[in-house]
Amino acid sequence: MKKLFGTLLALLAMFTFIPGAWAEWKSVTNPTQIFEEGYIQVVGVSEEGQSRYQAMRAATVVAQRDLLEIMEGLRLSGQTTVRDGMLQSDDIRTSISGFLRGAMKCGEKYHSDRRYAEVCMKLNIRGKGGLYDVILPLIKENKIQRVAPALPTDYYKPKLIPKVVGTEVVQETVQKKIPGVGGKPAIVTETVTETAAVVKQVPPPAVIFDGLIVDVRDFKFRPALVNTVVTDGEKVVFDPSKILSAILVERGCGGFTTDPGKAKALLESWGSKKPMIIKGVGVVKMTNAKVSPDDAAAIYLSDQKSNLLANAKVVFLLK
């Protein structure tokens, strides 16, 4: 048994250190990819000609440096990056610094032939212990720039006013008294013609949607820790303040993808059976998708029935 165990260990060691025979680590460093995958992953590489301990230590430092650089370059909201936020706010700096210390190794390897090391390190954006979990109090307390509107009136709410669809001519016969002969009043009949507006009450939506895909492929939209949907007058249709805390930790501000099929599949995995697909009409400050007032009303009315916004069943479709 000991001989068999030793043989297995030797084979495992050979497999681990044969170049190309071990599983390669995938670098996840592009912002769109980071928000789509839900984590940052880098591979630090040391200089050659070092002992195992020195090479591992050096590769770890390189990976940590790369993680910090990528993390600082992510957008908080609008045109503000994590780096900007850390400079502007002690709360943000403290939270992010603590989060970076929680980076975990996802693999390491020492190449004895050329005496250098590779170390894989990872930071989760979503999930327990991820970035959204760390900054959740800041989001709820509105300590990240433009996370939530300052006033309730900043939120969008449709004006359900009856729609004028035309006019019609209305004739009415009325009787009037006029002075008559000898001071006695006389009664005459007149026909009065008036033009009246014909109105139509706005009916409730025929279909209740339980998910939302916002297509912003025509614009320079950027994934961020805080993405919003707005409409005319900078009225906010959707932002993190509408998301349940547990959902925000798991999904952030929703999903991001460049593929319509993946957008639908992602919503389906979240329980959405009837997603609404809306074409954005613009982008505000790079991270706020703008929709038309009609589409904003459709989102609002469906959300009243399905709570799609509170559950962050929102996917941004990017180019």
Q: Is residue 20 part of a domain?
A: no
Angle between helices 90-100 and 52-73 (to 10 degrees): 150
| Over residues 208-231, mean pLDDT | 95
Cα(104)–Cα(249) distance, integer angstroms: 19
Query: Does 281 lie in the same domain as 195?
Result: no
Query: Does 219 lie in the same domain as 184?
Result: no
| Over residues 22-41, mean pLDDT | 87
Query: Does 96 lie in the same domain as 41?
Result: yes
Query: Does 172 lie in the same domain as 253?
Result: no
Confidence check: pLDDT of 97 > 60: yes
| Over residues 173-201, mean pLDDT | 67
Q: Is residue 305 part of a domain?
A: yes
Query: Does 254 lie in the same domain as 212?
Result: yes
Tell me the pLDDT of the chain averaged across its residues: 83
Q: Is residue 126 part of a domain?
A: yes
CB-based contacts of 243: which residues, under 8 Å, 6+ apart?
251, 253, 309, 310, 311, 312
Range of the domain at 182: 163-200
| Over residues 203-225, mean pLDDT | 88
Confidence check: pLDDT of 21 > 60: no
Confidence check: pLDDT of 127 > 50: yes
**Residue-wise pLDDT tens digits, 289-306:** 999 999 999 999 999 999
Q: Is residue 154 part of a domain?
A: no
Query: Does 196 lie in the same domain as 124?
Result: no
Confidence check: pLDDT of 167 > 60: no
Confidence (pLDDT) at 71: 93
User: Residues 174, 162: contact at Cβ < 8 Å?
Assistant: no
Query: Does 277 lie in the same domain as 229?
Result: yes
| Over residues 78-86, mean pLDDT | 90
Q: Is residue 246 part of a domain?
A: yes
Query: Does 229 lie in the same domain as 299?
Result: yes
Confidence (pLDDT) at 2: 46
Last residue in a domain, options 140, 155, 173: 140
Q: Is residue 210 part of a domain?
A: yes
Query: Does 309 lie in the same domain as 223?
Result: yes
- Looking at the structure of the chain, the number of domains it has is 3
Q: Is residue 6 part of a domain?
A: no
Angle at 314 between CA 134 and CA 153, to 5 degrees: 80
Query: Does 116 lie in the same domain as 211?
Result: no
CA distances from 301 to 156, 212, 243, 292 (A): 11, 12, 17, 14
Amino acid at residue number 234:
E
Q: HSE, CB side, 13 Å, CA atoms: give it for residue 258.
A: 9
| Over residues 258-286, mean pLDDT | 95
pLDDT band at residue 15 using 50, 70 and 90 as cut-offs: very low
Query: Does 292 lie in the same domain as 232?
Result: yes
| Over residues 82-86, mean pLDDT | 91
Q: Is residue 272 part of a domain?
A: yes
Confidence (pLDDT) at 189: 72
Q: Three-class SS string for the chain?
A: CHHHHHHHHHHHHHHHHCCCCCCCCCCECCHHHHHHHCEEEEEEECCCCCCHHHHHHHHHHHHHHHHHHHHHHCEEECCEEHHHHHHHCHHHHHHHHHHHCCCEEEEEEEECCCCEEEEEEEEECCCCCCHHHHHHHHHHCCCCCCCCCCCHHHECCCCCCCEEEEEEEEEEEEEEEEECHHHCEEEEEEEEEEEEEEEECCCCCCCCCCEEEEECCCCCCCCCCCCEEEEHHHEEEECHHHCCHHHHHHHCCCEEECCHHHHHHHHHHCCCCCEEEEECCEEECCCEEECCHHHHHHHHHHHHHHCCCCCCCEEEECC
| Over residues 37-41, mean pLDDT | 94
Query: Does 210 lie in the same domain as 170?
Result: no
